[in-house]
Amino acid sequence: MNRVKILILGGGYGGLKCAITLQKNISKINADITLISKHDYHYQSTLLHKVAVGTYSARKARIYFRKILDENKIKFIKDKIVRIEQSRVIGKFDEYNFDYLVIALGFKPNTFSIKGVDEFAYTLYSVNSALKIRKHIEDKFKDFKFNKNIDSNNDLAFNVCGSGFTGVEFAAELASQSKELAKICGINENLVAINLISKSAQVLPMFDMKLRLKAEEKLKKLGINLIYGSVVECKKDSVVVKNEDSIFEVKAHTTIWTAGVKGNEALDNSIFETKGSRIKVNEFLQISEYGNIFVLGDCAIAAQRDIIHAPTAQLANQMGEYCAYSLIDLLDNKPITKAFKFIHRGTVCSIGHTDGVGFIFNINVAGEIAAFFKNIIENRWILSIGGIINVLKKGQFRFRSSS
Ligand SMILES: Cc1cc2nc3c(=O)[nH]c(=O)nc-3n(C[C@H](O)[C@H](O)[C@H](O)COP(=O)(O)OP(=O)(O)OC[C@H]3O[C@@H](n4cnc5c(N)ncnc54)[C@H](O)[C@@H]3O)c2cc1C
């Protein structure tokens, strides 16, 4: 008998959750399931700002697929997906057929073709991109004392463009860690300047005004300069910002671009219609024209009562679980009847390791309690994919400041 082939593309929150849920329910399944991802490890994108600043090690950030997947149930292949055709996926190294396909290839930074951003700015979207930023920051601090008279590129100023989760979490983590780095390297910490450039009138536009203002207060307390306006150009030593009143330059030799994401560019090379490298899905997370193809997480444009879901890890995770149960039904020859419904359980944005703002089950939280909940959210994810052993090895436990 021909076994049904299921391919899952991408081992992030959506793809891995789908694979692990299938693995846990595999006794009911008669199918060959393969997870294909371009790295042989899963990483929590929500912690990449910590890897970039050096407060969370790359070793801890990687959870190897072959250690958490049961190869008798789910096969793992390392390959980079280049293109998807009608019933075939083209990778860099091989081609793959499928009966059912799950696309969960995640996000890429969107630089909106703004002049100079691709050339001069760092972006944060993978462990490797985070490690590049980390090395750059460490070199800046390490070499600062020795180079300052001979190297005009030498400054400890950082422009962080974008005031969503990634920008705020990165800037705050850097501000907390820069004091430590300055101390280690014997540098006056006042020489460090972190500029957070926000297009919206307040940071974290997904939160209510009370939380946004609280977050701004906390960022200012960390010494971060909040600058409002749109970045119109990125240069080697500055970004050009435009607001209602003027156009001005914000000086810094290091720019981190966190001002937007899109889906995966492999989708633009495929047979589907895309918008921002994402694909529109129906209420069952399928592409309407291709009932055997599901799209999850940041690659999907999914709506509930006409409101498009903001792409988040929480959304991808719930989509992954839903998709796995839909596949189980399809393999049992049952139609999918229940539409995907996103349940917003809360969101927390960290502001340094021991502070944050957010809401949990509709209650606003801030300070150490927010940091505590943030850790619970991260650890719960690790528990769901890797069990208690991985939580103990890789979990987040620090939420109180030593003072
Ligand atoms: C610093 C930072 C902080 C964030 N904080 C939060 C937060 O606090 N809360 C929240 O809900 N969300 C947060 N997000 C957003 C969240 O990380 C994403 O929404 C989430 O990762 C989307 O999940 P996904 O499964 O769609 O994609 P991802 O988790 O990005 O997974 C994509 C997978 O596909 C693989 N892949 C990519 N391209 C290819 C290819 N061509 N071929 C093969 N494999 C490929 C990748 O290696 C990866 O395994 C944050 C993001 C960042 C960067």
CATH number of the CATH domain containing 202? 3.50.50.60
Residue 236 shares a structural domain with residue 280: no
247 in the same domain as 182: yes
How many A from CA of 45 to the centre of ligand 1? 5
Shared domain check, 251 and 131? yes
Residue 368, φ and ψ in degrees, nearest 5: -65, -35
- CA-to-CA separations, 145 to 149, 151, 251, in angstroms, rounded: 9, 11, 20
List CB contacts of 360: < 8 A, sequence separation 6 or more.
Answer: 345, 346, 348, 373
Domain assignment present for residue 389? The answer is no
pLDDT (tens digit, 9 = 90+) per residue, 147-189? 755 556 678 999 999 999 999 999 999 999 999 899 999 999 9
Residues 78 and 128 in one domain: no
343-387: pLDDT as tens digits: 999 999 999 989 999 999 889 999 999 999 999 999 999 999 999
Number of Cβ within 10 Å of residue 25's Cβ equals 14
Domain shared by 157 and 282, yes or no = no
Predicted local confidence at residue 27, as pLDDT: 75
| Residue 278: how many other CB atoms lie within 10 Å | 24
Cβ(45) to ligand 1 under 6 A? yes
Residue 331 within a domain? yes
Q: Residue 268 has which token pair?
A: 């633009």
* Residue in 46, 56, 103, 309 to alter for ligand 1 test, most ligand atoms within 8 A of Cβ: 46
Residue span of the structural domain in which 295 resides: 4-107+263-344
Of 210, 239, 258, the position where a domain reaches its end is 258
Alpha helices, H only, 41-164: 48-53, 58-61, 65-68, 117-120, 127-147
Under the banding of pLDDT at 50, 70 and 90, the label for residue 402 is low
Same domain as 126, residue 250: yes
Q: Are residues 101 and 124 both part of a single domain? A: no
Identify whether residues 211 and 252 lie together within a single domain. Answer: yes
What pLDDT sits at residue 143?
A: 83
Question: For residue 330, how far is its CA from the centre of ligand 1 (angstroms)?
Answer: 27
Looking at the structure, do residues 231 and 146 belong to the same domain, yes or no?
Answer: yes
66 in any annotated domain: yes
105 lines ligand 1 (CB under 6 A): yes
d(CA 302, CA 283): 7
Output the pLDDT for position 39: 97
Pair (33, 57) in one structural domain: yes
